[in-house]
Amino acid sequence: MAEVLRYPFALHGYEKGTPLLYPKDSLSSLKSKVVVSDGSSLIASRPKKMPSLRVTGLEMPVSKGWLEILRVKCVIRRKESSVQSNTVSVQFDSSCGVKNAPAHNEKEGSPENLLPFRSSVFKELHVRAGGANLSGSKVYYLDERNEDVLSKRILKLCRLNKVRSALALYKSMIFTSIKPNSHACNSLLSCILRNGSLDDALEVFESLKEGKMTTAHTYSLILKAVAEDRGSDAALELFEEICKNDCAASNGFDVIVYNTMISAFGKLNNWVNAEKFWRILQNKGLIGTTVTYSVLICLFVRCGKNELAVDAYSEMVQNGLTPGVDVMQAMVGACMKEGNFDMAFSIFQSMLNSGLKPNAKTCNAVINLLGKARKPKLAFKVYDLMKLLGHVPDSYTWNSLLGALNHVNRHADALQYFERIRKQQPEILSFHIYNTILISCQRLGLWEKAVELLWAMEASGDSVSTSSYNLVIGACEVGRMPKIALRVYKHMVDQNCSPDLFTLLSVMRSCIWGSLWNEVEDILNCSAPNGFLYNAAIQGMCLTGRIDLARKVYIKMHQNGLKADGKTRALLLQNLPKDLKR
C-alpha cells in the first residue's frame, strides 16, 4: 500500500480539523511540490513539531471521481499544464496547530469525508483562446447554502455578463452538491454563448445533463449554438444523439426546440430536413408558433416548394396564428407562381385590412395575377393603390398592366397605353414590354408597327431574341404580308439569330398564302426534317389547290421517315379524286 501523508488543517468555522489523505507516490510525480512557509517540502519530510504554518500551494490527485478534501476553505482551478496527470491545483488560506494533528496510527479518512466530484465538469474539450474555460474556473467555499439565493446570484452575474464569476459560482455549487435552478442554469448557458465559448457551454451542458437539470430551453440554446458554430449537420447529430440516449428528454421537447432546428436548416435553405422536423412536430401533436410557420413558409418559397408553402400557410391560419408581412408577401409570390389568384388576392386584402404596407414586389405580383385572371380593372386599381403607398412603378409593373389588357383582347388600348409610357418614361422600356406590345401588334396584324418596334429594339444595341422576331413575323403573317415576313426571316438569320420551329412554321404559312412555293421548298430543304413542317406545308398546299405539289411533298415526307397526321391524310384523300379526274 502506498504511504499516505496526513496533515491537519484547523479552519475558522469548524471546531475540529479534518485530515487530508494523499498517496505520496502521486504527489512526488508532479512537477511542482508543496511549498510551506519555512521553505521545506511537505513531501520530503514530515515536521517533527507542528508549528503554525500557512500553506501557499498543494497538488492533489483526483481518484475515482472523489476529491479527497473536506471542510477546507479553498479555491480550485484546472492547471493548463497538468492535463495528462489529472490533477488540480488547490490554494489554501488556513492555519493548523499541534492539537489538531492526527495520531500516527490513524488510517485513511472515511468515505463520508470525501466530496463527490463530477468528472463531466472536467471533460476535456478544445477550449478556445479567450474563453471562460470551465476547467480553469475557481471553486469557492460557500457560506451560503440556499439554492434559491445562490441561483439569484448566478442570474445577477449573468446579467452583468461576468461569465467567469458566474462559472465559478456554478462550479462551487456543483462541487458542494447544490443544484442551481433551471432559470439560473439556462441564464449561465446563454451568458457563456454570448461570450463566444461554445466549448465551455458544452461542458456546462454535459454537467446539466448528468445532474438532470436540463429543460427544453436548455436544449434549444445548445442546439442553436452548435448549428451556428459548427453547422446544421452537427446540430442534427447532437439532436439525434440526445433522442437516442435520453428518451425522457426528447419526449419533453417543446415546440421551441423544433423551431431551433427548423431555423437552423432554414438559414441553409435545407428544406428537406426542415420539412422533416415540421412533420415530427405534427406527429407529436404540437402546435407550431408564428416563428415555426414563418420560417417554413419563407424557406419553401425561396426553394420553389410553393405547394408546401401553401400547406404551411393554411395550417398556420387554421391554428389561429396571424402571419406577418414577410410571410404574406412571400405567400403572394408563391401564389403567383402557382397561379392561385383567389388565395393571392385574399392575402393581399388581408394585408390591407390589417394596416400592413405591401412592398412594390407584392403589388406587382398581384397586378400580374389579376391580369392573368382577366381582371384588368382590379389590376389598375392595385396600380393606383401602389402609387398611394409611395411605390414607384417599374418595368415589371407596366408589363403586367399591358399584359392585363392583352388578356382581355384590348390590344388597341394596350398600344395606346404603351405610347403613353413611351412618351413619359422612355428609359423604363424593356424587351419584356416590347414583346408584350408586339403580341398586340401580332393579334391586330399591325406589321408596320411591329417592324418599327423591331428596329427600335435593335437600335438599343442589345441582341434581339428569337421570340421577338417570331412575333414580328407573326404580325406579317396575320397582315398577309408574306414578302415582308420572308425579309424579316432572312434579316434574322443575318443577325446570327437561330430560328426555331415556330419561326419556320410562321414563315412557311406566310409563303403558302403568298404562293411563294419556291421559298416553301427552300425552307423544307434547308431545315432538319420535321413532321410539323411537312404537315403544315401539305395542308397549306391542299387548301390552296396545289395537290400535285402536296403529293410530291408527301412522298418526300415518307422518304424521310416522317408520318403524316390525321388532318394531312384527310385533305389528301379529299383532293385525290379531283386530281385523278384531271
- pLDDT, one tens digit per residue, over 371-410 is 999 999 999 999 999 999 999 999 999 999 999 999 999 9
Q: What is the mean pLDDT of residues 218-234?
A: 90
pLDDT band per the 50, 70, 90 thresholds, residue 134: low
pLDDT band per the 50, 70, 90 thresholds, residue 242: confident
Three cell numbers at 558? 415518307
34 pLDDT higher than 80: no
- pLDDT greater at residue 382 or residue 38: 382
Separation of alpha carbons 149 and 155, rounded Å: 10
The mean pLDDT of the chain is 78
Q: What is the mean pLDDT of residues 25-46?
A: 33
pTM: 0.64
548 pLDDT higher than 60: yes
Q: What is the mean pLDDT of residues 201-223?
A: 89
Conformational region of residue 347, where left means phi above 0, alpha means psi within -120 to 50, and beta covers everything else: alpha
pLDDT band per the 50, 70, 90 thresholds, residue 3: very low
Separation of alpha carbons 501 and 527, rounded Å: 9
Apex 410 CA angle, 408 and 416, nearest 5: 145
pLDDT band per the 50, 70, 90 thresholds, residue 262: very high
pLDDT score, position 339: 83
b or e along 383-410 (b: 16 or more beta carbons within 10 Å of the residue's beta carbon)? bebbeeeebebebbbbbbbbbbbbbeeb
The lowest-confidence range among 18-27, 180-189, 249-258, 328-337 is: 18-27
44 pLDDT higher than 50: no
Q: What is the mean pLDDT of residues 246-271?
A: 88
The lowest-confidence range among 204-208, 309-313, 492-496, 571-575 is: 571-575
Q: What is the mean pLDDT of residues 427-431?
A: 90
pLDDT score, position 129: 37
Q: Are 546 and 565 in contact (CB under 8 A)?
A: no
pLDDT band per the 50, 70, 90 thresholds, residue 14: very low
127 pLDDT higher than 70: no
